[in-house]
Structures are given as C-alpha cells and as structure tokens.
Amino acid sequence: MEEKTNYAPGLRSTKDEILDEKEFVATQKFFKEIFGSIAGIGAVIDKNRQIVYANDDFLNLLGVKTLEPILGKRPGEVVSCVHNDEGPSGCGTSVNCGYCGAVNAIIESQETGQKSMKETRISSVIDGKNKSWDLKITSAPVTLSGKLFYLLFLQDISDEKRRLALERSFFHDLLNSAGGLNGLLTILKEGSDPDEERDIINLSEEASRDIIEEIMMHRQLSAAESGDLQVNIEDVSSRELLISSTGKISSHEVGKDKKVLIDEFPADIVFETDRNLLQRVLINLLKNALEATPKDGTVFIGADVYNEKIRFWVKNDQVIPMDIQMQLFQRSFSTKGQNRGIGTYSIRLLTENYLNGKVSFKSNEEERTVFSIELNRIWSGS
C-alpha cells in the first residue's frame, strides 16, 4: 500500500527498476542523438518522478560529471531543495511542495498527457550556504519503444528574476523617498516662518538620508548575491542596536501613524557581529511588520539570550495566510506586487550566509506573527 503524503504520490521506483530504466533509455540510439542535440538543460524521469537520464547541460548545472550521483533522485533532491526531506517520501511529498512549479508541471503533464510549462522558485542549501533558483520548468510525456517517460527541461531564469526584483523594489522605495523630499522642498520654496523652515529642513535631511540608505541597502544586497559582500566584525550592544533600529524606522514612511515599541526587558549585552548588516536585517523585519500593521497599530521588537546565543525578534498582531507562509524567504516572491520579492529573502540571505545566524518565524492565531534572528557569535563582554 502506498504511503500517504502531504501532496504528490510518494511511490518510488526500486534501485533495480531505476537501473533497468537507465539501460533501456541508453539503448534508444535515435532518441539519445536527438536529445543530446537539443540546446538546454534536460533530463528524463520515470512515472515516479525519478531521474533515469540527463544531458551534459543538466549535469553541468549540478556540478557533477556523471549520471550516477543523481540517478533515481527527484528534481528537488538533486538541487538540495530545503523541503526535499520534509515529506514522507522525499521531493514532492511535503505541504510546501503544493506551491512548487516543478512538481506541478510534472503532475499536470502526467494527468493530461500534454506538455506543461510553469515557473518555480526553489530555495536550496549547498555547502552550508543558501542558494535560490528561479526556473522555468517544462514537462512533456514521451513514449520510447512502448514505455512511457517524461522529458524535463529547466531554463534558469534566476538572473532575470533577480534583476526585476531588485529594480522594481529599488525604484519603488527610492521613488517614495524622493517624492517625500521633493514635497518638503516645494513647501520650503513657497516660504514659511523660520520655525517651520527649520522643521522642514530637518525632515528634508531625514528624507535624503533615507534615499542614501536605500541605495546602500541595494548595493549591499547585490554584493551578497554575488558573494562579494565583506563582513566587518565588531563589538555591538544589543540594547543600543534596538534603540538605533527603532529610531531609524520611526522616520520612515512605512511607520507613519504606527508605533514601534522595544520590549520592556530586552537583553542588554555586548556581542560580536557585523553591526551594519544586522541592523539592515532588523530594519527590514520592522518594515515588513509595519507594512502588515494597520493605522494606529503597534509592532514590538526585543532581544533575549539562551544557550549562549542571542535572539532578536519582531512581532506584529497580524496572521500570515498559510499559502504565503509556504513561500516566504523565496527570491522574487512577494505579497506586495509582481517582481518585488526581496524582503524576507534578503533577511535570510544576510543572516544565514553572512551573520552566522538562523532565521525563523511563527504565525498563528495564538501567538500572532513573530520573526526571529538567532545569532551564534561569541560574547565579547557584558
């Protein structure tokens, strides 16, 4: 009896069946010649979504020289998808897999007998580092000497999606800040009393600082994406960092008519980390929480210590819908509009790839929504 799963069927071909299928495809000389001449990243999978053959471009994408390391594995398993071991039978069988374009393209082509094409976002951990894939997946049935298989073609659209997400988000945030500055300068130009002028000049200074911050943030994110970001470790006060982060966000447009409160008894220690990067992460968490918070609402931030680790957290009173929870931290996914998704993705990228930390969240009716950053840096004092 087949094991019950949380999404796609879990039945897997045995090792002997996979070897037989591999040898069978290898005997299809005409098919191999055509398949090998097609430009693109391609593989052949069986009815249980397991790889039995792949072209050189597919092997090169994965950094392997022969088929053996990936033989019998499913697509999410060969790219080290973070969800590939969460289901009872590997790739395709977890709750998150219901939102994966790859498994849905395969299932659709199996059910309809027709070609299916979908886009998918896959988050992987390779050599301890987070990696994001934006792929266009095509699955199509093919019959070889009476036996049914499926052709799987992958088009890497990561660069395109990354560029669109960065540009759309960058220009959106930059235009907001520049628009605010322009409005203040217009008021100043029209004339006012000296006290009002001083207030407007102060606000204009804050707006120009926001513009510089936006430019710096996106420059850092681009460097982090390419692996060129330099980490500067220094002594940081947890209390001072909380105060500074809330101060910076208080002047941002997203915090208008809303409050950010520091927990009554936050951890007050000195520890080692990259202060600039950690503050970027905390401000992004605060921005996300404030965007989800209605007018006159409150967002809370705090820090605590346990097991020789420090944890920063941000809480708001909204609950994230389950379908969105399943796709958080994926590059190019956003609830704010097409191609704007870099918020939670950048938080995980900076925290886990550069700050030696871990990002997690919980969102339910009892506890509402809490995002946490847990850092492993050694204390440098108290």
DSSP per residue, 256-290:
TT-EEEE-SS----EEEE-HHHHHHHHHHHHHHHH
Number of folded domains that form the chain: 2
The angle subtended at Cα 57 by Cα 112 and Cα 89, nearest 5°, is: 50
CATH of the domain at 122: 3.30.450.20
Handedness of CA 49, 52, 58, 59 (dihedral sign): positive
Residues 103 and 181 in one domain: no
pLDDT at residue number 340: 38
In a domain, 9, yes or no: no
- Give how far Cα 27 sits from Cα of 23, 34, 65, 144, Å: 6, 13, 21, 10
Report the 10 Å Cβ neighbour count for 355.
22
Torsion, Cα 295 209 217 244, to 10 degrees, reads: -70
Residues 6 or more apart whose Cβ sits within 8 Å of residue 186: none
Segments forming the whole domain that contains residue 324:
161-381
Helices marked H in the chain: 15-26, 29-37, 56-62, 75-78, 101-112, 158-190, 194-226, 238-250, 275-291, 322-325, 343-354
CATH of the domain at 297: 3.30.565.10
List the structure tokens of 274.
């990259």
Chosen domain end from 138, 156, 174: 156
CA–CA separation, 371 vs 282, rounded Å?
10
pLDDT at residue number 322: 80
pTM of the model: 0.64
Chosen domain end from 156, 182, 209: 156
Give the residues of the chain that fall short of pLDDT 50. 1, 337-341, 381-382
In a domain, 244, yes or no: yes
Helices marked H in 27-157: 29-37, 56-62, 75-78, 101-112
Q: What is the pLDDT of residues 192-232, one digit of tens each?
A: 666 677 767 766 666 676 677 667 776 777 676 667 778 88
Report the 10 Å Cβ neighbour count for 170.
19
Q: What is the pLDDT of residues 221-248, one digit of tens each?
A: 767 666 777 888 888 898 999 998 888 7
In a domain, 349, yes or no: yes
CA–CA separation, 354 vs 277, rounded Å?
8
pLDDT at residue number 147: 93
Chosen domain end from 141, 156, 171: 156
Residues 6 or more apart whose Cβ sits within 8 Å of residue 274: 231, 232, 233, 234, 354, 355
Residues 72 and 130 in one domain: yes
List the structure tokens of 66.
């022969």
Closest CA to 311 of 279, 247, 267: 267
Q: What DSSP designation does 113 have?
A: S
CB-based contact 277:231 (threshold 8 Å): yes
